[in-house]
Amino acid sequence: MTGVSGDGEAKPATAARIYDYYLGGTHNFPADREAAQAMLQVLPLGPQLARTNRAFLRRAVRHLAESGVRQFLDVGSGIPTEGNVHEIVQQVAPDARVVYVDIDPVAVAESLELLEGNELATAITGDLRDPRSILSHPQVTSMLDFTRPIGLLLGAVLHFVPDDEVAYDAVGQLRAALAPGSYLLVSHATADDAPHEQDELDVAHDIYRRKTATPLGLRTRSQVERFFTGLDLVEPGLVWLPLWRPAPDDPQYFADDPKLSSGLGGVGRIP
């Protein structure tokens, strides 16, 4: 299925714009809304899951900024709508630099419009599965100093790289480029202890496979932990998203039963 952009060009649904729709954003097309609604038929908590993940991202990047990190590489960023990384970290440190990376060129174009006038934040088109092209991109190398700590943000993106070999290799290459004192942030969908039936998950996988170019693949807790091998996990470790340093202004959708968030989040420091 396709949507139509303002220039009349047909656009397929993408994970970035489905996520934007769930967050209540306006940077999405009919195809994205149709795919999102199809997902809600089997996973009706989609918007709550998205907002819980966004809340984790806000808390974690604020912690990194307050810990002295002044550079951020957000891979699989989607569209930086209200309350995203550059707004949060530049409130803590106005000199903080942010590079957003997404595979969806429409999301990147929307991002550049939203970032107009902010000389310390930009967006590029890039594929997590090709980390070398991200690391060598002229805007990345000019904006970020890889001899100093960087916060590498992989929020809700690795489950769109279902091939384990590709995913672990990509994260390994990105980590290897970072200076000591850098951080890795990961949030990841999981079926561990989650309330969803396998047939519901199969339908969700099929929707992403048919309607977007980003197939979905969940991982277990131990598989997600593997991304942090060799890193010093920041307390409280790898936990259900609502349990990572909760704040009073967080959404309370899953406060009574955090595993219903269906997502794990953690932050690790490169020694």
- 28, part of any domain: yes
Query: For the segment 104-140, what is each residue's pLDDT rounded down to a tens digit?
Result: 898 899 899 989 999 999 999 999 999 999 999 999 9
With beta carbons less than 8 A apart as the criterion, state whether 158 and 188 touch.
yes
- How much is the pLDDT for 17? 81
- How much is the pLDDT for 45? 72
With beta carbons less than 8 A apart as the criterion, state whether 150 and 61 touch.
no
Domain count, the chain: 1
Query: For the segment 177-212, what is each residue's pLDDT rounded down to a tens digit?
Result: 999 999 999 999 997 775 555 555 555 556 555 555
What are the distances in angstroms from CA 222 to CA 53, 117, 192, 198? Answer: 20, 42, 10, 19
Kindly report whether the peptide bond that precedes residue 236 is cis, defined as omega within 30 degrees of 0. yes
Question: Which CATH number does the domain housing residue 236 bear?
Answer: 3.40.50.150
- 9, part of any domain: no
Q: What confidence category does residue 8 fall into, taking pLDDT thresholds of 50, 70 and 90?
A: very low
- How much is the pLDDT for 240? 97
- 43, part of any domain: yes
Reading phi first (left if > 0) and then psi (alpha if -120 to 50, else beta), residue 258 is in: alpha
- 3, part of any domain: no
Task: State the average pLDDT over residues 218-223.
Answer: 94
